[in-house]
Amino acid sequence: MNNKTETKSGFNNFDQEALLYHQMGKPGKIEVISSKPCATEKDLALAYSPGVAAPCKAIAKDPAKVYDYTAKGNLVAVISNGTAVLGLGNIGPAAGKPVMEGKGILFKQFAGIDVFDIEVDTTDVDVFCNAVRVLEPTFGGINLEDIKAPECFEIEERLKKEMKIPVFHDDQHGTAIVSGAALLNACAITNRKMENVRIVVNGAGASANSCAKIFIALGARRENIIMCDSQGVIYKGRTVGMNKYKEFFASETEARTLSEALRGADVVVGLSVAGALTPEMLKGMAKDPIIFAMANPEPEITPDKARTARPDAIIATGRSDYPNQVNNVLGFPSIFRGALDTRATQINEEMKLAAVHALAKLAREDVPERVSATYGGKSFKFGREYLIPKPFDTRVLMWVAPAVAKAAMDSGVATRQIEDWDYYRETLEALQGPSKVFIRSAINRVHQNSAANGGELPKIVFPEGTSTKILKALATLVEERICQPILLGYPERVKEKIQALDIPALSGVQVIHPSQHPRYFSYVEKLYSLRQRKGVNLREAERLMADPNYFAAMMVHMGEADGMVTGSSMNYADAVRPILQSIGIFKDGVPAGLNFILLEDKFLVLSDTTVNFNPTAEQCAQIALQAAKIVEYFGIQPKVSMLSYSNFSGAPGTPAKMKKAAELLKTMRPDIVVEGDMQADTAVNPEIMERLFPFSDLKGGANVLVFPNLESSNIAYKLIQQIGKVEVIGPFLMGVRRSANVLQRTTTVDGIVNSVVFTALEAQFIKEALKARGG
């Protein structure tokens, strides 16, 4: 956004919006919250005196225990003196504080790292270093920020030698790492080799210096790099405006101006000021020039002007409104994550290069729909306008942090070894929200069940074989080894769609045309036998069986598929009807919808959220039993609450119905803890239960909530979904003889993946149950 309309205050409209953003509610952007409960007298005694003495004594005895009993291992200091703040220059430490707070938000948002921002009121290198060095007991790492050159070089060099925790000047290395990844990919696209690339770096500050060094580490030759500053080319023998850091890059060249340096150059890296590059300068560059114009907030040349002069150019900037944004957020959060998790003593060159290569490789992978959705549905594919991942691609953490951690271990700076890399990746995934933890636990159970069955994966049939969302979801599902997919539709059309979407993982997937399948007529006869007394004649059965939804349901019914997922392109009623008519309900079963509510440390199950308008007590009991079995899939003891507007009153109407439902469930499954009638707050808040109803067997809060009717459950889960700080997954269909689920038409690719994972898990449990019964 770049609104330049001025107001009377001298600020443009966007500035005014930014001021309001920082001022509204609590001033600033950060706060400190407790990671432990502190609501009771006992909590207070544990958190402070006398309980706090125990960890103090443990740390005094073994200093390494500070990582076990304090936040040090996940705490970074963002430290600045405000001498080089963004494009604002030397504005001082107080004026730079909003930037440092913002940096803290990015650490937390993208890597789950906690931050204290510290603004130091000094420009003296010795005073600054002394102030930072004595903070080592508090922090797991130091991020230096917005310190002008050349002081920033000396500060980082000294602190790295004097401290045994990572010290990282992001203005230098963050830009270098991300631009290094972009350059590797730009060279690959233009068939260049790094050792032959001629590079011009315009700017000689912290980031320019570090970029040039990392290009050399990636294979560029020192003699092929020309660096320029505000006075022109930095050449051998120049004496004006020089220092030891510039001297390192002094070139043996006849060029004296930026324009002369660019003649025949393959790459120009701008880390200077807006307008430093002109269209005329670019015309003398080599074929397919690589132009990184990274000055902020305005680039050295806009992509539009650059492309007019050189239509063959590959262009990157620091701006989010142009393709190929070189954004440091792709680097520092994940780099510190890997460093903290190995308790590295520094962030060395090996770790930086590992981050470069991880980012470059990730950019060549297919981009998930969830990333496209974050950017207004725009599609991204590796190429000239997509050299590096997008900042909101959650995979960045999953790729970069392990690469950095491994490099720390391999290079000998890690003091803590990661032995189980699968588990480590799961912990990273957990940082991205409860749904990731939940789905990963379900995926692990699918894999465990599959391994116990000789590696056999559930066969899941998809009636919507040409659905873009379904096919994109299947790319993930096949890679994760969740199921054997079967697609329905015209084979040539399905395969054309797979090719168009460029999903090679699905090249060998089974595709069935229903009416041409050898079992088609036997399926017709089976449907006729099931529905002949309900208005379906043989001809109608033949017509229905040509419908992929009926065909899929019959495959599941006949045991030729273990489950089905449908509904991404149709309404719920039309999608569920073939399931109920062909697969049917198990004995005493009640078709019902279920939703998972995902909290930070647990999940709740809500039912019935989709099917029964006003279920009877008997139906509520059966719905609860079905939901309890699903909770057991995850190895968790179900604790059921029959919800009402009263607590244990049994009053006529809803309370009486839910009380009876609880009694019926106790008869059906005496081992399941169930209470009702009960209010919702009582059900989920153990303190209310213990204080007011100590006689209840329901301890620790319910995890299965059964609502008295469809209205209350549907309203509840949709309200929670919109305003609660939780995630909602579902709905899923219960009560059916085999595993079958109906998607919402608004579901995303991630939502489809979640539904299929659950369907596969359920299919495995049903199959095992049938084997146990000899069915």
The set of catalytic residues is 48, 103
Q: Distance between CA atoms of 525 and 523, rounded to whole angstroms?
A: 5
Beta-strand pair 704-706/603-607: parallel
DSSP 665-708: HHHH-TTSEEEEEE-HHHHH-HHHHHHH-TT-S--S--SEEE-S
Torsion of CA 183, 184, 190, 192, to 10 degrees: 110
In 3-state terms, what secondary structure has residue 732? strand
Which residues face 739 on adjacent strands? 563
The strand order across the sheet containing 290-293 reads 232-233, 225-229, 199-202, 267-270, 290-293, 314-317
Q: Specify the DSSP class assigned to residue 647.
A: S
Alpha-carbon distances of 288 from 52, 282, 764, rounded to whole Å: 63, 11, 54
Q: Report helix angle 332-341 to 170-189, nearest 10.
A: 110
Q: Distance between CA atoms of 148 and 531, rounded to whole angstroms?
A: 79
The tokens of 563 are what?
A: 């489950």
Residue type, 89: G
Beta-strand pair 232-233/225-229: antiparallel
Q: Distance between CA atoms of 417 and 686, rounded to whole angstroms?
A: 39
Q: Specify the DSSP class assigned to residue 383.
A: B
Q: Distance between CA atoms of 530 and 473, rounded to whole angstroms?
A: 33
In 3-state terms, what secondary structure has residue 423? helix
- Nearest CA to 716 out of 597, 592, 600 is that of 597
In 3-state terms, what secondary structure has residue 185? helix
Q: Are 545 and 551 in contact (CB under 8 A)?
A: yes
Residue type, 489: G
The tokens of 555 are what?
A: 């495959």
Spell out a b/e string for 724-762, using b for 16 or more CB atoms within 10 Å of the CB, else e: eebbbbbbbbbbbbbbbbbbbeebbbbbbbbbbbbbbbb
- Nearest CA to 159 out of 118, 137, 131 is that of 131
DSSP 285-349: SPSS-EEEE--SSS-SS-HHHHHHH-TT-EEEES-TTSSSB--GGGTHHHHHHHHHHTT-S---H
The H-or-E segment that residue 657 falls in is helix 654-668
Q: Report helix angle 151-162 to 206-217, nearest 10.
A: 60
Region class of 455: left (phi > 0), else alpha (psi between -120 and 50), else beta: left
- Nearest CA to 302 out of 319, 280, 283, 288 is that of 319
Q: Distance between CA atoms of 595 and 442, rounded to whole angstroms?
A: 15
Q: Distance between CA atoms of 428 and 398, rounded to whole angstroms?
A: 6
Alpha-carbon distances of 333 from 55, 397, 404, rounded to whole Å: 29, 8, 11
Q: Are 398 and 338 in contact (CB under 8 A)?
A: no
The set of residues, in sequence order, having a beta carbon less than 8 Å from that of 400 and lying 6+ positions away, is 330, 331, 334, 335, 337, 338, 355, 358, 359, 362
